Every structure is written in C-alpha cells, then in structure tokens.
Amino acid sequence: MELKSYLLKRQTVINQALEGYLPGIRQTPGSIHQAMRYSVLGKGKRIRPILVLAACEAVGGKPSLALPAACAIELIHAYSLVHDDLPAMDNDDFRRGKPSTHKQFGEALGVLTGDALLTFSFELLSRQNHDSSMRLKVIREVARAIGTQGMIGGQVADVQAGRRIDPEQMEAINRKKTGALIAASVRIGAILGGASAAQYRALSFYGDRVGLVFQLVDDLLDNDGAVKVDGAEAVRRRADRLTRSAQSALTPLGARAEPLKSLAGFILTRGS
Ligand code: GRG
C-alpha cells in the first residue's frame, strides 16, 4: 500500500476535524482558545490519531465513527508537549518549528492551555456516537494510559531518575511515558471498531510493541535515553525485533490490518 498518500489523507481529515472541534477564538475567554489552537493546529505527524483510525479499520469498523476519539488522543498528546516544554520540565523554547506555547503566551497560559486541552479531550471522548458502555470503556482506557500508571507515572520516574539508570528502568519509563498513550490509541480504535476479544488482544500486543519502538526511535534520533544506556546498535536491533513481532501479531486480522502494518514500519524508519 502507498503509505505516503494514506498518511496525507488521514492527516487532512484529522486536521479538519481538530479545527472544527476546538473552540473558536471569538468564544470567551479568547486568549486560551487561541493558545489551544496554536498548540494543536499546524505541524505534527498525527501518528496517534491515525493509529486510532487504522485500528478501528483493522477490525472492520468505520473509521469516521472513531474520529472524535482520535482527535481527543491528539489533544492529549498536545497537552503533554505543552507541559513538557514548560520551564519546570524540559524548558524548551521551540516546538514544531515555532515558539513553544509558554514562550508565545506566557507561563500561566502555558499551564492552563495544557489543562484545557486535557479537559476538552475527555469532553470529546464522551461525545462519541457509540453506546454508553463502549464510551465508558474508551474513557477508562485513556484515563489509565495517561495517569500515574501511564504517562504521568513515566514522566515522574523520568524526572526523578538519577544519572545511573539500568536498561530495565529505562524500558519501564519508556513504556509508560510515551508507549502507554500510543498503545491506548490502538486499543480504543479496536474497541470503537467492535473488536472481538481475540482481535483486541492482538491489537494490544501490537500497540504495546509499537509504543515502545516509537520511544526507542525517538532516542535514536536524539542520541539520548535508551541509546545512552544500551548503545545505538543494540537499540536499533531491539526496535527492529519489536516491529517484526508487532507486525506478526496482525496476521489473523488479514488485509484490513495492512495500514497498521505499514504504520509500524513508518514508526521504525521515520526521520523526525
Ligand atoms: C508533561 C504530562 C507530561 C507528560 C510528558 C510524552 C511526554 C510526557 C512528554 C513529551 C516529551 C517528548 C518530546 C517525548 C518524546 C517522545 C515524543 C512524545 C515525541 C513527540 O511526538 P511526535 O514525534 O510529535 O509524535 P509530533 O510533533 O509529530 O506530534
């Protein structure tokens, strides 16, 4: 399949939906709505929402029904970036080729923008066209992935880690900090697509591995994290192995999982 045009099509749909969901700047208080739009719209690969739609598709669901949830995941990702860039965290002045949110709008609005994106993401998750038990499952899945057992927990462990960190600790941090949201993206796509128990298990396995690969590749690109602990060669080999095992897990899903298979390859070989 032609991944480039698939990605472009999905990115366009997601960007249009995000544009429509986010509150307009004329709505009071305009400043925060402007900062939310600034933080979300524009550049961004949209990997996580694309995974939501592709997982839904892989089990025979209609991707358009999973669009609000896919966008909610992107809002959560944007919130994590906005907060991660704050002076109290990584203190980054630039993000996606422009000044980071707190640099553009000030620190207080930076904190509030992250909070607002997170809050709004749950409103979107509750708004979907699915029955309430499915909605509840999705909300629980997302909340778990980004709470103290997931993204926040990983970030806390990262912030508090000493200089000497062993490979197991590193992997535990990666799994939670970045892997959990990616794995949850795949799982909620599966749930919204009406996955059977076996399909959900296969996609969970896939999501877990792809989530880890995402962070390993990030470390390879930045020459940081796992690369400092294990060396680039070992990290590259591990990422290759994990990708192959993620792709094998898709076999029972047949041709409908082709996009997910290509996406795993894209996550492994991406250059940014
Ligand atoms: C501060 C609540 C809080 C959480 C921080 C995920 C995270 C935890 C911080 C993000 C910082 C970071 C740059 C982590 C490395 C992996 C990562 C999330 C990279 C950026 O994701 P991409 O490549 O970015 O999907 P785009 O811009 O394409 O959306």
- pLDDT of 214-265, one tens digit each? 999 999 999 998 999 899 999 999 999 999 999 999 999 999 999 999 999 9
Q: What is the pLDDT of residue 235?
A: 95
Q: Model's pTM, two decimal places?
A: 0.97
Nearest ligand 1 atom to the CA of 154 is 8
Q: Are 58 and 256 in contact (CB under 8 A)?
A: yes
Ligand 1 atom closest to the CA of 74, numbered from 1: 29
- Which ligand 1 atom is the nearest neighbour of the CA of 45? 28
Q: What is the DSSP string of 142-163?
A: HHHHHSTTTHHHHHHHHHH--S
DSSP for the chain reads --HHHHHHHHHHHHHHHHHHHSPPTTSSSHHHHHHHHHHHSSS---HHHHHHHHHHHHTT--GGGGHHHHHHHHHHHHHHHHHHTSTTTT--SEETTEE-HHHHH-HHHHHHHHHHHHHHHHHHHHT-SS-HHHHHHHHHHHHHHHSTTTHHHHHHHHHH--S---HHHHHHHHIIIIIHHHHHHHHHHHHHTT--HHHHHHHHHHHHHHHHHHHHHHHHHHT-THHHHH-HHHHHHHHHHHHHHHHHTTGGGGGGGHHHHHHHHHHHH---
Domain definitions of the chain by residue range? 3-269
**Which of 177, 156, 175, 163 lies closest to 238 in space, CA to CA?**
175
Q: What was the pLDDT predicted at 247?
A: 98
Which pLDDT does position 42 carry in this prediction?
83
Q: Is the pLDDT of residue 45 over 90?
A: yes
Would you state the pLDDT for residue 164? 81
In tens, the pLDDT along 185-220 reads: 999 999 999 999 999 999 999 999 999 999 999 999
Q: Is 45 in the pocket of ligand 1 (CB under 6 A)?
A: yes
What is the position in ligand 1's atom list of the atom closest to the CA of 43? 27
Indicate whether residue 15 lines ligand 1 (CB < 6 A). Answer: no
pLDDT at 162 over 90: no
d(CA 205, CA 188): 13
Report phi then psi at 73, rounded to 5. Answer: -65, -40
Question: What tens digit of pLDDT does each residue of 84-133 get?
Answer: 999 999 999 999 999 999 999 999 999 999 999 999 999 999 987 778 99
Say whether pLDDT at 78 is over 80: yes
Q: Cis bond leading into 29, ω under 30°?
A: yes
CATH code of domain 3-269: 1.10.600.10
Distance from residue 77's CA to the centre of ligand 1 (Å): 7
Q: Does the beta carbon of 47 lie inside 6 Å of ligand 1?
A: yes
CA distance 228 to 226: 5
Higher-confidence position of 226 and 56: 56
Contact between residue 153 and residue 181 where contact means Cβ atoms under 8 Å apart: no
How confident is the model at residue 167, as a pLDDT?
A: 86
User: What is the share, in percent, of the chain residues with pLDDT greater than 70?
Assistant: 100
Alpha-carbon gap, residue 23 to 30, rounded angstroms: 9
Q: What is residue 24's predicted lDDT score, i.e. its pLDDT?
A: 98
pLDDT of the residue at 190: 98
Q: What pLDDT is recorded for position 163?
A: 77
81 CB less than 6 Å from ligand 1? yes
Cβ 44 under 6 angstroms from ligand 1: yes
Instruction: Tell me what percent of the residues of the chain surpass a pLDDT of 90.
Output: 91
